Amino acid sequence: MKITMEQLTHYAKNYGFVFQGSELYGGLANTWDYGPLGVTLKNNIKALWWKRFVQESPVNVGLDSAILMNPKTWEASGHLSGFNDPLIDCKACKARHRVDHLIDAFDRTISADGLSIERLQEIIDGSTIKCPACGVRDFTPIRQFNLMFKTSQGALDDHSHDIYLRPETAQGIFLNFKNVLRTSRKKIPFGIAQIGKSFRNEITPGNFIFRTREFEQCELEFFCEPGTEMDWFNYWKKASMQFLLDLNIPQDHLNFSDHAPEKLSHYSNATSDIEYQFAWGFDELWGIASRTDYDLKQHQAHSGESLEYMDPMTNQKYLPYVIEPSLGVERLFLALLTEAYEEETLDNGDIRTVLKIHPALAPYKVAILPLIKKRHAAQAQTLFETLSKHVTCSYDDTGNIGRRYRRCDAIGTPFAITIDDDSLNKGTYTLRMRDTMAQITLSEPQLIEYIQKHTAF
Ligand code: ATP
């Protein structure tokens, strides 16, 4: 049985994965803080993505560009004029809705994403859609709402100092295309990857950490020769899906949602979302877009600098085409918890909560548990010092061993080591597996090797 959102939110708060943001002051709606386990899981997600898409790639390189960018960036990219969501208010209860979402929920056969305001208004007027919050049908006209967060730089509070928090990490990559090309001596095709925070003033944030105004993206901009983009689009679709499968998300909980030609953004000639079956149904996890040469062309025109690539074999110049796989870290976090959470009924009737998450993602790889504190703690602490140089370890010497195992299971620790008299006398340790609860006996050198082997990605 799949976990409900209510259970998951409760679980995440209870075990220190995710807390309400600014909780001490009554919270700030739709902001979340990541606790000791949450930050480690998030870091592990990002590290595995980086390993797969940068470290193991012979052609991709990394970047960390600034969140605050020259505002001309957003003029050129089209975000200032076009990064809008259609908004409608219920006059009766004042609830605010995204029109495309209202229409999608009303009639799945209509695809409202990307339609013009006029067309959306026609659909609303010709339908019987009611406010999902109060059931009344009395709406304001549709308006466009720009999702960019505005702030100002420096001491002067006038509009000449307006700047924006980036709504995607991608533009930082496009602005550095030439710098990276020159310094890394890469040749097309190659990619630039970046992980970082993005900000969107979403109209309807919600579903826990699924849609927030501050979130993290793992983005790759892959530059290729015009005409080859469909091959690379398919290549990165497959590679992205494979990454999720390798994290133990089953294929039947994932699907590709290919955008119909009339739904494509103006800069894209193909887009597909990988959707995951969240608690409320399939929804977007990872957007993969073929962005043509739109971004480089825009920045070339607005900056007056050539961003063309010179092919060293043919001496021909061209603006590369771009494939962009863009993954939301929090959405993958949510998918992984949803997928891994289980409540198992044991032979004795007890319920065991267990997070069967991929060992490489587990916040702690191993728990170190001295059987009797007085007798075994000293050796357990020495083992902690040794093992924590290699993997993340937790240490727990309080309560009965069964209860300590349960806590390890509940937070997804794949292995637990018990230190007992045999450890003192013979140097052997009992290693217990989270998923099967089976136990094996190993010596200290074997422990390190075993745990590293079974927590690798
Ligand atoms: P949606 O249709 O859900 O608003 P989008 O198509 O606007 O998403 P993209 O611009 O393609 O999203 O962003 C790439 C990825 O960034 C998304 O697939 C998602 O994982 C993540 N993402 C986008 N917006 C948010 C958000 N508000 N909160 C959390 N993650 C987000």
Query: What phi, psi does 303 have (nearest 5°)?
Result: -95, -20
Ligand 1 pocket residue status of 420, Cβ below 6 Å: no
Ligand 1 pocket residue status of 259, Cβ below 6 Å: no
Ligand 1 atom 28 nearest Cα: 211
Amino acid 157: pLDDT: 63
SS3 readout for 85-153: EEEEEECCCCCEEEHHHHHHHHCCCCCCCCCCHHHHHHHHHCCCCCCCCCCCCCECCCEEEECCEEEEC
CA torsion through residues 78, 263, 126, 86, sign: negative
3-class SS of residue 191: strand
Asked if 319 contacts 178 with a C-beta cutoff of 8 angstroms, the reply is: no
151: buried, middle or exposed (CB in 10 Å: 19+, 13-18, 0-12)?
Answer: exposed
Cα 366 to averaged position of ligand 1 atoms, centre (Å)? 34
Cα 42 to averaged position of ligand 1 atoms, centre (Å)? 17
Q: In angstroms, rounded to a whole number, what is the distance separating the alpha carbons of residues 263 and 273?
A: 13
Asked if 236 contacts 321 with a C-beta cutoff of 8 angstroms, the reply is: no
Tokens 């899906």 sit on residue: 241
Asked if 327 contacts 374 with a C-beta cutoff of 8 angstroms, the reply is: no
Q: In angstroms, rounded to a whole number, what is the distance separating the alpha carbons of residues 148 and 166?
A: 8
Ligand 1 atom 1 nearest Cα: 284
Ligand 1 pocket residue status of 288, Cβ below 6 Å: no
Ligand 1 atom 5 nearest Cα: 287
Strand-pair partners of 18: 34
- Write the CB contacts of 434 (distance below 8 Å, at least 6 apart in sequence): 354, 356, 408, 409, 412, 413, 414, 415, 416
Atom of ligand 1 nearest to the CA of 289: 11
Ligand 1 atom 6 nearest Cα: 287
Asked if 432 contacts 393 with a C-beta cutoff of 8 angstroms, the reply is: no
Ligand 1 atom 8 nearest Cα: 284
- φ/ψ region of 197 (left if φ > 0, alpha if ψ in -120 to 50, else beta) reads beta
57: buried, middle or exposed (CB in 10 Å: 19+, 13-18, 0-12)?
Answer: middle
Structural domains in the chain? Answer: 5-76+149-338 (3.30.930.10), 84-146 (3.30.40.230), 364-454 (3.40.50.800)
Ligand 1 pocket residue status of 324, Cβ below 6 Å: no
Q: In angstroms, rounded to a whole number, what is the distance separating the alpha carbons of residues 219 and 235?
A: 15
Cα 160 to averaged position of ligand 1 atoms, centre (Å)? 30
Tally of CB atoms within 10 A around 259 = 18
Cα 411 to averaged position of ligand 1 atoms, centre (Å)? 27
Q: What is the DSSP letter of 215?
A: E
Q: Dmax of the chain from CA atoms?
A: 81
Cα 191 to averaged position of ligand 1 atoms, centre (Å)? 21
What string of DSSP letters covers 280-338?
TEEEEEEEEEEEETHHHHHHHHHH-----EE-TTT--EEPPEEEEEEEEHHHHHHHHHH
- φ/ψ region of 111 (left if φ > 0, alpha if ψ in -120 to 50, else beta) reads beta
Cα 70 to averaged position of ligand 1 atoms, centre (Å)? 23
Ligand 1 pocket residue status of 215, Cβ below 6 Å: yes
3-class SS of residue 171: helix
- Write the CB contacts of 109 (distance below 8 Å, at least 6 apart in sequence): none
In our burial notation (b when 16+ CB lie closer than 10 A, e otherwise), range 336-369 reads bbbbbbeeeeeeeeeeeebbbbbbbbbbbbbbbb
Ligand 1 atom 18 nearest Cα: 286
Query: Vertex 193, ends 172 and 291: CA angle to 5°?
Result: 70
Cα 328 to averaged position of ligand 1 atoms, centre (Å)? 6
Cα 21 to averaged position of ligand 1 atoms, centre (Å)? 20
Q: What is the model's pTM? A: 0.94
Ligand 1 pocket residue status of 331, Cβ below 6 Å: yes
Ligand 1 pocket residue status of 30, Cβ below 6 Å: no
Ligand 1 pocket residue status of 284, Cβ below 6 Å: yes
Ligand 1 pocket residue status of 217, Cβ below 6 Å: yes
Tell me which amino acid residue 50 is.
W
What string of DSSP letters covers 374-399?
HHHHHHHHHHHHHHTTTS-EEE--SS
Ligand 1 pocket residue status of 330, Cβ below 6 Å: yes
Ligand 1 atom 31 nearest Cα: 328
Ligand 1 pocket test, candidate residues 204, 217, 274, most atoms within 8 A of CB: 217
Tokens 């960019």 sit on residue: 148
Cα 311 to averaged position of ligand 1 atoms, centre (Å)? 34
Mean pLDDT in each 10-residue stretch from start to end of the chain (457 residues)?
A: 88 97 97 98 98 98 98 96 92 93 85 83 93 94 93 76 94 98 95 98 94 98 98 98 98 96 89 97 97 98 98 96 98 98 93 97 98 97 97 96 96 98 96 97 95 97
CA-to-CA separations, 354 to 43, 66, 254, 265, in angstroms, rounded: 21, 39, 22, 42
Atom of ligand 1 nearest to the CA of 212: 28
3-class SS of residue 223: strand
Ligand 1 atom 29 nearest Cα: 211
Q: In angstroms, rounded to a whole number, what is the distance separating the alpha carbons of residues 399 and 407?
A: 11
Tally of CB atoms within 10 A around 140 = 11
Residue 147 CA, distance from chain mean position:
19
Ligand 1 atom 7 nearest Cα: 287
